[in-house]
């Protein structure tokens, strides 16, 4: 069978790229001819939109018009040489084909599940609500034509029902995790709590950093980096100083305002004082790490904290569980929340630094509980193999 995978190319290699490569390799080993059709998603322009757009309108909301431009590009693609096509990130699901599978992990998030938060924080662009209305309408029309939508989690399936009104053509697909992680059998220790992932809004590593200030005798480790890393380090300095002076900065201010670089005068003054104080933080920033170093971080972690808001899937949590680590996630964590059985393989807590700190402290105080919950977490991770994942893909394709 000739299979085309339609993939927007963002010039990065992240979790989605790993999933696509694995699916391609597995399908090829099963005897299928597979071609990944990359479409450069970094270009800005209007060349595919069949009607005129004023330059000033484009500049005011270029992200929207880029989306529409790519929507038309995918809509016009000739994919007739393939027996089956698999679309991936939005708006690649606009492609037209009688056997179309959409591997679906998220919408244009700022116009869907993050829309209200984006407006609250002040990150919305002009005409946000009208843009949102247009995107939701064209997305719904496209997705309704897809043969099968494979939602990456129950959270995503729920969003498709909520925002696009689709149920009958939606199934679940849980991606497997890296085989080296799934089959890890090296040494395990329980030392520092860690948070792993990109530093982007609203992943909320800021809540982890603030939680660590409430348990100063414990060292926390922040693994990874991203567009918000510099602000995250400033927040750590600021919170270290504020805690030393018994100054409370609310959680919402920390992860909604400071994480986006919105420091008010009072906070800027505190930050300047903190930089002069040279107080030692109990949070270590590792920066980006190699795969082997990541394995060591997981293997030596007391627990893994996954504080993100409305996560699509929860890959980090499953990886952590493969290393027999309890996972702490938040009740509004989306895909993370659906993986946690509270008190069994981790803790599901309110999205506050206080709740996260309490959960970490409970684990630090009870080594036997940590090991017991870690073993339960490991059993949970056994469901997320690539063998199980490809069984679902094969079932749909055949």
CATH number of 2-174+386-397: 3.40.50.2000
Beta pairing partners, 334:
311
Least confident of 45-49, 318-322, 342-346: 45-49
Dmax (CA) for the chain in angstroms is 67
- What's the pTM value of the predicted model, to 2 decimals? 0.93
Q: What would the pLDDT profile of 180-233 be if each residue is shown by its tens digit? A: 999 999 999 999 999 999 999 999 999 999 999 999 999 999 999 999 999 999
Do the domains at 2-174+386-397 and 179-381 have one common CATH topology?
yes
Helical spans, DSSP H, in the chain: 15-29, 55-60, 62-75, 115-121, 128-144, 154-164, 179-182, 205-213, 229-244, 251-252, 265-277, 291-300, 315-322, 353-364, 367-381, 386-397
In CATH terms, the fold of domain 179-381 is Rossmann fold (3.40.50)
- The answer to whether 23 and 393 have CB atoms below 8 angstroms apart is yes
Looking only at the bridges linking them, the beta strands covering 170-172 and 2-9 are unpaired
97/85 Cα distance (integer angstroms):
7
- The answer to whether 309 and 328 have CB atoms below 8 angstroms apart is no
Q: What would the pLDDT profile of 102-152 be if each residue is shown by its tens digit? A: 999 999 999 999 999 999 999 998 899 999 999 999 999 999 999 999 999
Helix, strand, or coil here: 375? helix
Domain boundaries, given as residue ranges, for the chain: 2-174+386-397, 179-381
Beta pairing partners, 170:
149
């Amino acid at each position: 069978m000739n299979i085309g995978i339609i993939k927007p190319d963002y010039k990065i290699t992240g979790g989605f790229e790993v999933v696509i490569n694995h699916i391609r390799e597995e399908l090829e080993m099963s005897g299928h001819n597979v071609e990944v059709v990359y479409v450069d998603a970094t270009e800005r322009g209007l060349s595919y939109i069949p009607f005129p757009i004023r330059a000033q309108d484009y500049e005011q909301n270029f992200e929207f018009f880029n989306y529409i431009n790519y929507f038309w590009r995918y809509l016009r693609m000739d994919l007739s040489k393939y027996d089956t096509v698999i679309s991936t990130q939005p708006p690649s699901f606009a492609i037209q084909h009688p056997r179309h599978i959409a591997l679906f992990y998220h919408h244009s998030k700022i116009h869907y599940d993050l829309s209200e938060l984006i407006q609250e924080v002040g990150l919305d662009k002009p005409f946000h609500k009208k843009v949102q209305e247009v995107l939701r309408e064209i997305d719904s029309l496209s997705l309704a034509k897809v043969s099968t939508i494979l939602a990456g989690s129950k959270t995503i399936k729920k969003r498709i029902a909520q925002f696009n009104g689709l149920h009958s053509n939606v199934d679940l697909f849980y991606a497997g995790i890296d085989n080296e992680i799934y089959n890890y059998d090296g040494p395990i220790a329980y030392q520092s709590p860690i948070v792993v992932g990109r530093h982007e809004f609203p992943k909320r590593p800021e809540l982890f950093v603030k939680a660590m200030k409430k348990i100063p005798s414990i060292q926390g480790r922040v693994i990874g980096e991203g567009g918000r890393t510099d602000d995250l380090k400033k927040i750590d300095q600021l919170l270290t100083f504020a805690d030393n002076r018994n100054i409370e900065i609310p959680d919402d201010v920390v992860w909604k305002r400071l994480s986006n670089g919105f420091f008010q005068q009072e906070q800027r003054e505190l930050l300047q004082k903190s930089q002069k104080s040279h107080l030692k933080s109990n949070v270590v920033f590792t920066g980006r790490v190699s795969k082997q170093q990541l394995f060591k971080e997981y293997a030596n972690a007391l627990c893994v904290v996954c504080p993100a808001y409305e996560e699509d899937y929860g890959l980090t949590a499953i990886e952590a569980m493969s290393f027999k680590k309890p996972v702490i996630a938040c009740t509004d964590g989306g895909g993370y929340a659906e993986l946690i059985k509270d008190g069994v393989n981790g803790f599901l807590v309110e999205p506050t630094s206080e709740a996260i700190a309490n959960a970490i402290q409970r684990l630090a105080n009870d080594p036997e509980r940590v090991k017991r919950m870690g073993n339960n977490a490991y059993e949970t991770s056994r469901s997320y193999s690539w063998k199980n994942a490809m069984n679902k893909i094969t079932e749909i394709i055949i």
